[in-house]
């Protein structure tokens, strides 16, 4: 966000252009830190993350052990510690390894959408669809990581914050373009929109209900987005 002043001297918020805003999000979680690891080392780390994801989704983070992850990955425990100092650090690395894919998918899919309404609806819909297609990852994120009091100021917390920032940005963009009235607190509106979809995902993960997750998701998104007005 950039701050400007109006004629009365009061602050007016100017939105960062959408393409720039989204590119910044995608680049931040692309997984490219600029430090080139050897291919073998990078492959091994990915094997560890995939094994950890399976174990966390199956057993839960609290019950999982480093030894379980090492066994799942087919490598000694010492190899795990070469990459991660402990289970907590590994637990937070797991969702981050997939966040970048979600943002990249969204950036590609949203390229042809011109309005904030279209972009916002697609974002909420894709969040549920991505969770459906990646159930082990979504179980770990939505049932273990997101509600955890241990998230604190970890990197994964910043990834979650960015996830919600996209919703807030699009709400403000729609207001600025006159697609819906302004005046409502965008953070409260984002909480309603995001919370509705999250609850659907969580219910589906635990009970496998609704059976047709995406059909119900589309209906819920339409109903909650009606709160934005016209």
Cα distances (Å, whole numbers) of residue 187 to 132, 191, 206? 26, 6, 27
Q: What is the tens place of the pLDDT at every residue in 61-79? A: 999 999 999 999 999 999 9
pLDDT at 210: 94
Question: Could you state, in order of their start, the residue ranges of all structural domains in the chain?
Answer: 2-32+89-228, 37-85
Beta bridge partners of 3: 13
pLDDT at 97: 81
Task: Reply yes or no on whether the pLDDT at 155 is more than 90.
Answer: no
pLDDT at 145: 86
Q: Tokens standing for 33?
A: 């830190």
How far apart (Å, rounded) are the C-alpha atoms in residues 62 and 55?
11
User: What mean pLDDT comes out for the span 28-42?
Assistant: 70
For residue 5, give the H/E element and its range.
strand 2-5
How far apart (Å, rounded) are the C-alpha atoms in residues 108 and 218?
20
Q: What is the tens place of the pLDDT at every residue in 162-201? A: 999 999 999 999 999 999 999 899 999 999 999 999 999 9
pLDDT at 11: 43
pLDDT at 9: 41
pLDDT at 142: 93
Is the distance from CB of 45 to CB of 19 less than 8 angstroms? no
Task: Reply yes or no on whether the pLDDT at 56 is more than 90.
Answer: yes
Contacts of 198 (CB under 8 A, 6+ apart): 142, 146
For the chain, give the percent of residues with pLDDT over 70: 90
Q: How many CB atoms within 10 Å of residue 156?
A: 20
Q: What is the tens place of the pLDDT at every residue in 138-148? A: 999 999 888 87
For the chain, give the percent of residues with pLDDT over 90: 74
Q: Which fold has domain 2-32+89-228?
A: Tetracycline Repressor; domain 2 (1.10.357)
Mean pLDDT of the chain: 89
How far apart (Å, rounded) are the C-alpha atoms in residues 104 and 23?
9
Confidence of residue 31 (pLDDT cuts 50, 70, 90): confident
For residue 35, give the H/E element and its range.
none
User: What mean pLDDT comes out for the span 88-93?
Assistant: 89
pLDDT at 153: 60
How far apart (Å, rounded) are the C-alpha atoms in residues 192 and 42?
39
Pick the CATH number of 37-85 from 3.20.20.140, 2.60.120.10, 2.40.30.160, 1.10.10.60: 1.10.10.60
Contacts of 99 (CB under 8 A, 6+ apart): 29, 159, 163
DSSP-based three-state secondary structure for 13: strand
More confident call, 157 vs 195: 195
How far apart (Å, rounded) are the C-alpha atoms in residues 204 and 211?
8
């Amino acid at each position: 966000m950039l701050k400007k002043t109006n004629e009365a001297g009061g602050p007016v918020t100017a939105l960062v252009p959408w393409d720039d805003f989204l590119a910044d999000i995608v680049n931040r979680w692309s997984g490219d830190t600029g430090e080139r690891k050897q291919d073998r080392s990078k492959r091994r780390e990915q094997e560890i993350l995939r094994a950890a994801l399976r174990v966390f989704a199956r057993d839960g983070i609290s019950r999982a052990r480093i030894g379980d992850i090492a066994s799942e990955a087919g490598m000694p425990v010492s190899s795990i510690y070469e990459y991660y100092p402990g289970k907590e650090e590994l637990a937070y690395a797991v969702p981050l390894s997939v966040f970048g894919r979600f943002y990249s998918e969204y950036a590609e899919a949203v390229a042809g959408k011109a309005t904030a309404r279209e972009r916002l609806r697609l974002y909420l819909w894709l969040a549920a669809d991505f969770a459906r297609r990646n159930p082990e990852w979504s179980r770990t994120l939505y049932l273990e990581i997101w509600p955890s009091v241990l998230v604190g100021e970890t990197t994964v917390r910043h990834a979650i914050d960015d996830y919600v920032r996209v919703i807030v940005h699009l709400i403000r963009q729609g207001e600025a373009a006159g697609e819906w009235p302004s005046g409502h607190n965008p953070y409260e509106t984002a909480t309603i929109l995001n919370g509705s979809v999250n609850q659907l995902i969580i219910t589906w993960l635990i009970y496998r209900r609704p059976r047709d997750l995406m059909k119900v998701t589309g209906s819920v998104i339409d109903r909650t987005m009606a709160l934005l007005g016209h």
